[in-house]
Structure 1
Amino acid sequence: MPLPRIGVVIVTMGNRPAELDALIASVNKQDSAAARVVLVGSATPLTDVPYDVTKIPLEDNPGCPGARNVGLRALIDSGEVDVVVELDDDGLLVADDVFRQVQQLYAHDPALGIVSFRIADEHGETQRRHVPRLRAGDPMRRGLVTSFLGGGHALSVPMLRQIGIWAGEFRFGHEESDLAWRALDAGWKILYEPGLVLRHPKTSPARHAVYYRYTARNRVWIARRRLPVPLVPVYLGVWLALTLARIRSLTGLKAWCAGFLEGVRTPCGPRRPMRWRTVWRMTRLGRPPVV
């Protein structure tokens, strides 16, 4: 059986040229070459990128999921790839067999929809928030999960054809959950594979000015879009309580509350709630869709 063909999508805003050069070099050194690499420039012309990749400059910045969608459409429409690997532009593939391992995983299991890489800093440390399960104490524990990491992951093209691509209107935050819940509801598997490593600087998501607003708004949106009606207030109540317990910044709390109200008042996109058997499946995997 032939191994699936790998495509790569990288989104950049043109503000990390050294990191982007290193990432593309690490992509090019893989012992199983990508069939095609697409570089999407969010509000950047990509004129200074010397590599032989497919360059798609955008005049504006549609947000991370919106820009990734541009790359995904190019690869899906080309018919040249079976699996898409998406990588943050300040990440680095430290091993040269990552793509080959991804190919083997998908060749072994046709029901595999998403593979989540392990994010580690230059010291090999993985932050708890980068482990896609509630019990995050052991980042080296491999297994099926209910979410995945946006910085480094692989997506099945047949899965994307069935469930659709990113929710571009989210712009930043929880677009992974929206895609993961759709995948699980359609019967696809999500695997956390810590042996696949993307080196990435240690950061805080709160470094982004829109973090609190978009986090709150998008949590409301995903609940309205994807959860059965009885679970919507439970999910939002849990996250309201957790937020009040965690946030130490009055400015951040005000932005979060404004985003929460925005999520309630504004259109969230089509409502397609998951089935109750998906709720039970997620619960058995260790993370019911209420937290």
Structure 2
Amino acid sequence: MPLPRIGVVIVTMGTRPVELRALLASVERQDVPATRVVLVGNATPLTACDVAPNVVKVPLDDNLGCPGGRNVGLRELRASGDVDVVIELDDDGLLIADDVFRTVQELFAADARLGITGFRVADPQGHTERRWVPRLRADDPMRRGLVTAFLGGGHAFSMPMLDEIGLWPAEFFFGHEESDLAWRALDAGWKILYEPELVLQHPRTSPARHAVHYRFTARNRVWLARRRLPAPLVPVYLGVWISLTLARIRSVPGLKAWCGGFVEGMRTPCGPREPMKWRTVWRMTRLGRPPIL
């Protein structure tokens, strides 16, 4: 069986030029070259960014958010017809090993139902935060295995999987788009593998650094439940997260933004409702994370 051809999508707003240059250099250093690399500029012209010959620059007039920008890159790769697996990377990430693409090729070649491979994210000191481990029992970031989630900062997708389940939910703009895509993949019978040997170096940051974090987190979590969960689980899921949020948030402005986003999520259209099958609920439960957490 031939090894899959690798494509890469990177979305940037042009605010991290030093980090982006380092990331592009780490992509070029891979011992298996990417067939095609797409650099999407969210509301940035990309004129000051020098790139290798195999990099396609797609400047956008508007900021489409992370999922919307990635969809532009995915459509570019799909139209090319020469990519089987796409790797998406945050523009402030860095590939510290030169065999990442080769390892990704081998993983997808070995399992035709592998839909998503999640990378291990580590800070420059090599530490992986608990929230970066895509399972509830996050004490051991080196434990490899099938999971129900992945990190958006570094991962690989099967293009046949995307052809079947669709692309990112662009309307989410920021927050929980990974969960929506992961749940669709699992419901269609695809596997999600967490592979800690695939490392994306990433600075230790808080998602709350984004001004819209609390609002979009709440709104998109409600949308996610309305779109993807069987009806009996919707109030359970939202009730669990209301309780967790009240216990965790220490900022009054943050709590107000979160409550506003929750109300927005209940009142506004969330897109087509396609709830997962009950057998997917059971599958996720057996993998260690039922879709109420």
2:160 match: 158
Does 2:220 correspond to 1:205? no
> Which residue type is aligned with residue 111 of structure 1?
R
2:24 match: 24
The Cα RMSD (Å) is 0.4
2:102 match: 100
Q: Secondary structure at the match of 2:194?
A: strand
Unmatched 5+ stretches in structure 2: none
Question: Which runs of structure 2 are paired with 1:126-275 in the superposition (5 Å)?
Answer: 126-275=128-277
Q: Secondary structure at the match of 1:154?
A: strand
Q: Secondary structure at the match of 1:117?
A: strand
* 1:49 Cα deviation after fit: 1.2
TM-score if structure 1 supplies the norm length?
1.00
1:119 match: 121
1:10 match: 10
Q: Secondary structure at the match of 2:86?
A: strand
* 1:77 Cα deviation after fit: 1.7
Q: Secondary structure at the match of 1:60?
A: coil
Q: Which runs of 4+ in 1 moved over 3 A?
A: none
Unmatched 5+ stretches in structure 1: none
Worse-matched range after superposition: 45-54 or 83-92: 45-54
Paired residues in the alignment total: 291
* 1:165 Cα deviation after fit: 0.2
Write the distance in 2 (CA, Å) between the matches of 1:190 and 1:77: 25
From 66, 69, 93, the equivalent of 2:68 is 66
> Which residue type is aligned with residue 129 of structure 1?
R
TM-score if structure 2 supplies the norm length?
0.99
Q: Secondary structure at the match of 2:174?
A: coil
1:38 match: 38
* 1:279 Cα deviation after fit: 0.2
* 1:249 Cα deviation after fit: 0.4
> Which residue type is aligned with residue 116 of structure 1?
G
Does 2:49 correspond to 1:49? yes
> Which residue type is aligned with residue 83 of structure 2?
V
* 1:286 Cα deviation after fit: 0.1
* 1:195 Cα deviation after fit: 0.2
